[in-house]
Amino acid sequence: MMKNLMNRRILLGVSGGIAAYKSAELIRRLQDLGADVRVVMTRAAQEFITPLTLQALSGNPVHVDLLDPAAEAAMGHIELARWADLIVVAPASADVIARLTLGKGDDLLTTVCLARRCDLVVAPAMNEAMWHNQTTQDNLQVLKQRGIQQIGPASGGQACGDVGMGRMSEPSQLAVEIANCFESGELAGKTVMITAGPTREAIDPVRYISNHSSGKMGYALAQAAVDAGAKVVLVSGPTTLACPEHVERIDVVSAQQMYDACMSRVQDADIVVASAAVADFRPVTVAEQKMKKTGQETMTIEMVKNPDIVASIAALETAPFVVGFAAETNDVIAYAKYKMQRKKLNMIIANDVSDASIGFNTDHNAVTVLTADTQQTLPEASKFQLAQSIVTAISKELTNGPSS
């Protein structure tokens, strides 16, 4: 399968060293795979390559100062950390590796790394004597124990004239390895059907009833499931989102159409994740022509209940593993647990949509993953990061089963 980073957010940290010139090409290689790239540079890095160069290549402002009032007012260090799906430090000098090991937060790059909720990758680049120094090797071992991944270095000629280990891996190889960071294999061999987005229930040829769902969570789940090795069928209501690569998308408009599409494909699914915001009711009749104002001050539209997609799937004799969503404005956990029990779901994802800063139409959310036996709170993060955590929770539940 061709590597891709579609819809991925990569924060590239550039530290001081002659290998900083390779960062320019790395940005291009990441973009070629579909990534959205933003850059943080240390002061030392700016001695080797200018922020303007990396800004021109990335298409985004380059962040250089920890206490820049303008930057903090827009996308400050905490927002940068929340934005990223993966942070890559390339080149990672011996100094930056040492400061990461100590948990330093004395510049923008190390502060962002401390504030991250995503994975961190370092691509070492340094003189071969510095590479072989025991302190450097000890530092790298500490980072490895903390779950920080290392790519490279390579062996070869160095700018100082020495030959040996310490060259930063080539950008083309780094891009492939970075793409590999998203592939977990947790759902290898499984078929996952995901519903996403809103539904639209027609009133007449012009008007409809709908909701604020953007579909971002469902599309993030589709990407995360592909990364986990699954075959993915995405049943999507109307959205403006690009379909992730290697995903089969079935476009629908109404709740009835979504129900029909799901029931026609559910027999092939091992897992169903119902993240769509499906209308509970639809108009009994749909006017054939645009309805006109006739002077009345009120209008009454008779509604009829739509089919309950997730409950219908969970009620099947050979039901797959079914995951529902509960978007609530109050008593979120209690309502979610009741919904899970009433609809006989294996898992439910609860989120509080009363907070306008997360959830509908935003890139971030905070949710709680519930099963009959467990409750896991996932703090605010990008929807893709949450999708990865949800996929991991599903994989663990399938592997271990309910706890006794």
Preceding amide of 91 cis, omega within 30: yes
- HSE toward the beta carbon, residue 306, CA cutoff 13 A: 22
Is 160 catalytic? The answer is yes
Nearest to 352 by CA among 366, 363, 372: 366
**What is the dihedral sign for C-alpha 295, 299, 302, 307?**
positive
Q: Given its phi and psi angles, is residue 229 left (phi above 0), alpha (psi -120 to 50 degrees) or beta? A: left
Pairing of strands 119-124, 36-41: unpaired
Cα Dmax for the chain: 87
- Contact 152/123 with Cβ under 8 angstroms? yes
Structure-block tokens of residue 225? 């499931």
- 307: cis peptide before it, omega within 30°? no
Query: Which position has the token pair 């476009």?
Result: 251
Pick the catalytic residue from 113, 118, 160, 181: 160
Residue 5, helix vs strand vs coil: coil
Strand partners of residue 13:
40, 89
Beta partners for residue 88, in sequence order: 12, 121
**Residue 42 contacts residue 14 (beta carbons within 8 Å):** yes
Is 31 strand, coil or helix?
helix
Q: Which residues are catalytic?
A: 160
